[in-house]
């Protein structure tokens, strides 16, 4: 075998080794990047789950802040807040579920409120639900005011709701989370009254 062939063979072998090293190095980088991405996704999922738990705990604590003179009103207030939050999240199905629960909270002497809750439970249109929520709020406000025995709740108002007519809602938190617009205008509104005992 000639020296030139030997040199060519060594050169080819060296080139092949370089390509193999480059390929192995690229594969290792891809594996590390994928692994890092998976780790990041797992961390993000864990953080999101923790945030959801904290939000639920905060929401529960806020509801527990207000106490009522009778169990029925406490249950009504809880279900009303679930409807409010479903509207904030633009979740029409969640509104229907919470409105069904609310309707089941009422005895026959509150038939006017029960009928409004049932109307919400049967309506799958988010905009109609928001109109019904305004009507429901007008009916529930006196019940909440007369039965609140401790803590505080907040009467809030959005002047732009319902085509500029404006609408109220009762919240268990002072922070504005607009049920009439959801994420479109979440912070639109103001506290008009703090109801406390």
Its pTM stands at 0.68
- 49 and 99 in one domain? no
**What's the structural domain count of the chain?**
2
Residue with the bigger pLDDT between 20 and 86: it is 86
- 148 and 129 in one domain? yes
Q: pLDDT per residue over 103-136, tens digit each? A: 988 766 788 889 999 999 999 999 999 999 999 9
Q: State the Cα–Cα distance between residues 147 and 138, nearest whole angstrom.
A: 15
- 141 and 56 in one domain? no
- 157 and 74 in one domain? yes
* Domain C-terminal end among 65, 92, 121: 65
* Domain C-terminal end among 12, 32, 65: 65
* Distances 92 to 5, 54, 59, 71, 186 between C-alpha atoms, Å: 78, 24, 20, 27, 17
Q: Poorest-confidence range of 69-73, 127-131, 193-197?
A: 69-73
Q: State the Cα–Cα distance between residues 21 and 14, nearest whole angstrom.
A: 10
Confidence at residue 112, expressed as pLDDT on a 0 to 100 scale = 87
* Domain C-terminal end among 39, 65, 91: 65
Range of the domain at 50: 1-65
Chain mean pLDDT for the chain: 80
Q: pLDDT per residue over 52-61, tens digit each? A: 544 543 443 3
Q: pLDDT per residue over 72-115, tens digit each? A: 899 999 999 999 999 999 999 999 999 999 998 876 678 888 99
pLDDT at 50 over 70: no
- 94 and 19 in one domain? no
Q: State the Cα–Cα distance between residues 56 and 61, nearest whole angstrom.
A: 8
- Give CB contacts under 8 A, 24+ apart, made by 162-169: 162/130, 162/131, 162/134, 167/130, 167/133, 167/134, 167/137, 168/134, 168/137, 168/138, 168/141, 168/192, 169/84, 169/133, 169/134, 169/137
Residue with the bigger pLDDT between 155 and 61: it is 155
Confidence at residue 146, expressed as pLDDT on a 0 to 100 scale = 94
Q: Are the C-beta atoms of residues 170 and 137 closer than 8 Å to each other?
A: yes
DSSP string computed for the chain:
--HHHHHHHHHHHHHHHHHHHHHHHHHHHHHHHHHHHHHHHHHHHHHHHHHHHHHHHHHHHHHHHSEESSHHHHHHHHHHHHHHHHHHTT-HHHHHHHHHHHHHH--GGGHHHHHHHHHHHH---HHHHHHHHHHHHHHHHHHHHHHEEESEEEEEEETTHHHHT-EEEEESSSS---TTTGGGSTT--EEEEEEE-
pLDDT confidence band for 157 (50 / 70 / 90): very high
Q: Poorest-confidence range of 10-14, 67-71, 80-84?
A: 10-14
């Amino acid at each position: 075998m000639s020296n030139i062939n030997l040199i060519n063979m060594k050169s080819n072998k060296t080139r092949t080794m370089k390509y193999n090293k480059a390929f192995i190095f690229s594969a290792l980088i891809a594996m590390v990047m994928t692994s890092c991405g998976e780790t990041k996704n797992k961390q993000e999922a864990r953080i999101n789950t923790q945030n959801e738990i904290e939000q639920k705990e905060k929401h529960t604590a806020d509801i527990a802040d207000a106490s009522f003179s009778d169990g029925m009103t406490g249950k009504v207030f809880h279900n009303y807040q679930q409807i409010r939050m479903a509207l904030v999240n633009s979740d029409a199905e969640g509104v229907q579920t919470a409105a069904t629960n609310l309707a089941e909270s009422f005895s026959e002497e509150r038939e006017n409120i029960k009928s409004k809750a049932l109307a919400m439970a049967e309506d799958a249109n988010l905009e109609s639900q928001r109109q019904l929520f305004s009507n429901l709020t007008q009916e529930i406000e006196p019940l909440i005011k007369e039965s609140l025995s401790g803590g505080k709740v907040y009467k809030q108002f959005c002047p732009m709701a319902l085509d500029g007519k404006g609408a109220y809602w009762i919240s268990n938190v002072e922070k504005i989370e607009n049920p009439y617009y959801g994420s479109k205008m979440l912070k639109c509104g103001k506290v008009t009254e703090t109801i406390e005992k």
